[in-house]
Amino acid sequence: MPLLGLPLPGPVRGVLGCLLVALTFWLAAHPAAAQTEDTRRATLNAGIAAARAEAERLQGDFKGLLAIRDRTEALITEAKALRREAEAARAAAQAQLAEIARAAVPDAAGAEKRQAEAELAQVEARLRQDGQSLRAAEELLARVTEARRSLFARRLLAPSPSPLTPAFWSELLDRAVPQIGERLADLRARAAENGLDDEELLGGAVVLVLALILYGISRSAGRRLARRWRRLCERTGIGPRRAAAVHAVIELCVTVAPVPVALALLILLNEDMDLSPGSVDSVAVRLLAAIAGAILGPGILRAMVAPRDPAMRLLAVGDPAARTIHRTGTAMLLIYAGNLVFAEFAIMAQFRAAIGEAATILTVLACCALLAGALARLAHAEPPDETELAAMPAASPVGSLGALAPLAWAVTAAAFACMLLGLTALGAFLMGRLLVTGILVALGWIVLIGVDALSVAPGDVARSPRLSRLCRTFTLRPGTLALGSIVVSGLLHAVVVGAMVFVVIGPWSLAHGELNPFQDAFLGTTVADLRGWLGAAGLALFAFAAGLLATRLATGWLDRRFLPHTRLDAGARYSVITVVGYGGLALTLVVALGQLGVNPQSLTVIAGALSVGIGFGLQSIVSNFVSGLIVLAERPIRVGDLVTVKGEEGRVKKISVRSTLIATGDRTDLVVPNTDLITSIVRNKTLTDDTQRLRVPLLLDKETDIEVLHEILLKVVERHPNVAAHPAPSALLMRIGEHGLEYEVRCFLVDLAASDATRSELNTIWLTLFRRAGIKLGGPPAA
């Protein structure tokens, strides 16, 4: 038996073989571990059988199927653990057999080998049993998930009488409405039988009043805290965006969050609650949840649009639009929450189904009317002028949110059509999802603005005593702290956006799933399910679109947020963004092809097989592509450089992997293949130094007064706004020629693009002053 890769002598191997035999017999004499595994397997199989039987019985119970799903996932975890243990035992048994075959102990080899083979056979049997149990549990999970989806679809698409048909009104007015009094009397009688008297109802009302009083107190405290924060911002000069972000957080945390927390505590304190549909406790829970939602939703809208305080507004809309958003959202939430409570009460009172359907229809129609009116007013509202925008310095433009208006119109029209067609459940679901999505988008907007407020600029560090003290404590440069805050802000952005995507589109209905959207996202939908629904091509297209969007967001964040605060120049930043963009595109393409079943290694084989054809047919394209990569990596030219390529001069405007775009002085764009930038001579005037020396030659008469000439030349060039003070300009006598004195004025320019204009202006001023001073230009004598 090798130990650490070294062969052992024969006697040692014999001793170890005897020890293994003894250990085997000891385990046979002490089968507690095996009995424990057998007990676990028996318990696992019994659990799978019980869950399967219960799933057949609870096909119409959504919450029951949800509980079975949780139990089945635990059974799958146990089955996988048993299979891993069995695989480890099989590997150990196989290693033991191999060692016995190599051992030089003939007497004990036969019995030991038979014992090891028997043990391996038992392990193989247990492994097959574990595999069967795992497959059974996975099949049960798939059946439960499919049952939940089918039940959700049936409830969502269940037909009901249309309000346009006489049957609906006949059922409502002739049968349902006349029975309301009788049902209420029966409800009171049942309540009296169950011990629910007026004192308990009065106690519940007192609790509700106390909760509302608590909300009022917290709101008052929040307003005082917000006023103190505004005064602190005015004294310390805190930026308007950061001040508005903290104000929104105060609005949410102090005035909104305590109420849902208090209501949740009231629910948790009652240990004897019966949450079955139609029970008193179920109605109470629905009432408390509706109150919490009716407070939380308007609080989020108020924190975003600040209808009474434009300085703290996070959305660039005028006062009328802000009031419209807040009032419409509040009214819709109150109506929808009231309908949820009434629906639960109708079940408890045993009203006929027409009562609940009529209430749902009125709720959806009212929400549609309110939303349509608000969208129409917002579409015709005048955008805020410069004065109004100045009054709300922290507000963000509404361009990105404006794209939600067509979606809102579409959902409103669809919900209205569902009400008329008799799909009441579907219409209520659409309107509810629209409300939840709108509130969550507003919450995400506030959170993202708050995350942006965490990032600081180097100037903010210098102005803040606390940040400066933090830099000195940890020996950090202000730029390093600023970059760190930007990176943290970017990571939080990604986390918040990802969480909001799951929360918005994850749970299709809170009434048909868990409150935790990450636990029950898409009702158990997996990538395999998406591939079955969309097909391989559809899933690949979706992955490609998602990858392109992620790449664009990443490059945009690098371009606007991160790279401008680094020490990289514009050319280096452009190279980084270009490389990241093409890298993300390549990775996206690989992932999309992987969804189609294309192995990346096969792409390498195909590329190798086509290399000869590429070499001949696409030689220039591949050469330009490789040259573009070299240009981006070595950076002999950068975006913004002033270059001369094959006699053409201009500034580099864009560098791609195939060609480079150069803007010439006559406002034309020159497309240069990247191969020319690598193989030909390129003159880069700003590669190592952005300043460029300008040389202006002059030919003057031999009789010119040198001192006067020097004074005129230097005084004019030093006063020109485009001439740099350092290095200082100079006037040099280069040669005393046959036709006069050859001078050259040298200076460095601030803006190299204006070199021709600077040369012309200097010559013009010099010529005027030469004439006044009597200085003549040189040249050959007249014939």
For residue 640, give the CATH number of its domain.
2.30.30.60
| 116 close to 93: Cβ distance less than 8 angstroms | yes
Strands (E), 247-321: none
54 and 147 assigned to the same domain: yes
pLDDT tens, residue by residue, 729-747: 888 888 887 778 888 898 8
Secondary structure (3-state) at 743: strand
Q: How many domains does the chain have?
A: 5
Please report, for residues 63, 192, 450, 465, the alpha-carbon distance to residue 472 in angstroms, rounded to integers and kept in the order given.
57, 72, 26, 11
The two three-digit tokens of residue 406, written as one number: 């067509």
pLDDT over 80 (residue 103): no
Asked if the structure places residue 481 within a domain, the reply is no
* Comparison of pLDDT for 705 and 506, the residue scoring more: 705
pLDDT over 60 (residue 326): yes
319 and 348 assigned to the same domain: yes
Burial status of residue 682 (CB atoms within 10 A of its CB: 0-12, 13-18, 19 or more): middle
What is the structure's pLDDT at 578?
80
Asked if the structure places residue 465 within a domain, the reply is no
Secondary structure (3-state) at 237: coil
- 214-216-218-219 Cα dihedral, nearest 10 degrees: 160
Residue 328's pLDDT band (boundaries 50, 70, 90)? very high
CATH, residue 710: 3.30.70.100
673 and 707 assigned to the same domain: no
Range with the poorest average pLDDT among 349-363, 711-725, 744-758, 760-774: 744-758
Q: What average pLDDT does range 100-127 have in this prediction?
A: 73
Q: Name the β-bridge partners of 697.
A: 744
Residue ending a domain, choose from 579, 609, 639:
609
| 376 close to 352: Cβ distance less than 8 angstroms | no
Asked if the structure places residue 754 within a domain, the reply is yes
Q: Name the β-bridge partners of 662.
A: 652, 670
The two three-digit tokens of residue 139, written as one number: 């099949």
Cα–Cα distance for residue pair 346/527, rounded to 1 Å: 40
641 and 574 assigned to the same domain: no
Range with the poorest average pLDDT among 56-60, 213-217, 315-319, 473-477: 213-217
What is the structure's pLDDT at 149?
77
Burial status of residue 445 (CB atoms within 10 A of its CB: 0-12, 13-18, 19 or more): buried
39 and 116 assigned to the same domain: yes
What is the structure's pLDDT at 31?
46
pLDDT over 70 (residue 405): yes
* Comparison of pLDDT for 669 and 263, the residue scoring more: 669
Residue 18's pLDDT band (boundaries 50, 70, 90)? very low
Asked if the structure places residue 490 within a domain, the reply is no
Residue ending a domain, choose from 547, 580, 609:
609
* Comparison of pLDDT for 172 and 282, the residue scoring more: 172
What is the structure's pLDDT at 261?
63
What is the structure's pLDDT at 581?
85
| 712 close to 766: Cβ distance less than 8 angstroms | yes
What is the structure's pLDDT at 287?
77
605 and 621 assigned to the same domain: no
What is the structure's pLDDT at 369?
93
What proportion of the chain, given as a percentage, has pLDDT over 90?
4
Residue ending a domain, choose from 115, 139, 156:
156
pLDDT over 90 (residue 368): yes
25 and 131 assigned to the same domain: yes
pLDDT over 50 (residue 408): yes
Look at the pTM and tell me if it is higher than 0.75. no
Asked if the structure places residue 542 within a domain, the reply is yes
pLDDT over 70 (residue 782): no
pLDDT over 50 (residue 489): yes
pLDDT over 70 (residue 225): yes
What is the structure's pLDDT at 416?
92
Residue 207's pLDDT band (boundaries 50, 70, 90)? low
Cα–Cα distance for residue pair 291/210, rounded to 1 Å: 13
Range with the poorest average pLDDT among 124-128, 163-167, 257-261: 257-261
| 610 close to 674: Cβ distance less than 8 angstroms | no
Q: What average pLDDT does range 554-568 have in this prediction?
A: 82
pLDDT over 50 (residue 26): no
707 and 728 assigned to the same domain: yes
Contacts of 102 (CB under 8 A, 6+ apart): 1, 13
240 and 340 assigned to the same domain: yes
Find the angle CA(372)-CA(290)-CA(266) to the nearest 5 degrees.
165
pLDDT over 90 (residue 406): no
What is the structure's pLDDT at 29?
43
Please report, for residues 30, 49, 378, the alpha-carbon distance to residue 126 in angstroms, rounded to integers and kept in the order given.
19, 18, 68
pLDDT over 50 (residue 589): yes
Asked if the structure places residue 572 within a domain, the reply is yes
Asked if the structure places residue 482 within a domain, the reply is no
Q: Name the β-bridge partners of 733.
A: 743
What proportion of the chain, given as a percentage, has pLDDT over 70?
76
What is the structure's pLDDT at 194?
62
Cα–Cα distance for residue pair 103/16, rounded to 1 Å: 9
pLDDT tens, residue by residue, 65-80: 777 888 888 888 888 8
Among 658, 638, 647, CA closest to 680: 647
In one-letter notation, the amino acid at residue 44 is: L
Most confident listed range (51-65, 470-484, 694-708): 694-708
Please report, for residues 19, 465, 526, 574, 660, the alpha-carbon distance to residue 433 in angstroms, rounded to integers and kept in the order given.
68, 47, 22, 42, 49
Mean of the per-residue pLDDT values for the chain? Answer: 76
| 47 close to 79: Cβ distance less than 8 angstroms | no
139 and 14 assigned to the same domain: yes
pLDDT over 60 (residue 555): yes
Find the angle CA(453)-CA(459)-CA(461) to the nearest 5 degrees.
70
602 and 635 assigned to the same domain: no
Burial status of residue 195 (CB atoms within 10 A of its CB: 0-12, 13-18, 19 or more): exposed
Cα–Cα distance for residue pair 75/82, rounded to 1 Å: 11
Residue 600's pLDDT band (boundaries 50, 70, 90)? low
Strands (E), 565-691: 642-645, 648-655, 659-664, 669-673, 682-684
Q: Name the β-bridge partners of 698.
A: 743
Asked if the structure places residue 462 within a domain, the reply is no
| 643 close to 627: Cβ distance less than 8 angstroms | no
The two three-digit tokens of residue 710, written as one number: 């020097």
pLDDT over 50 (residue 34): no
Contacts of 603 (CB under 8 A, 6+ apart): 590, 593
92 and 186 assigned to the same domain: no
Cα–Cα distance for residue pair 632/674, rounded to 1 Å: 10
Residue 703's pLDDT band (boundaries 50, 70, 90)? confident
Range of the domain at 707: 692-773
pLDDT over 80 (residue 362): yes
Return the residue matching tokens 């010559």.
763
Cα–Cα distance for residue pair 624/115, rounded to 1 Å: 70
| 431 close to 370: Cβ distance less than 8 angstroms | no
pLDDT tens, residue by residue, 35-54: 577 788 888 888 888 888 88
Helix-helix angle 424-452:280-305, to 10 degrees: 50
Among 304, 290, 365, 298, CA closest to 327: 298
27 DSSP 8-state letter: H
What is the structure's pLDDT at 8?
45
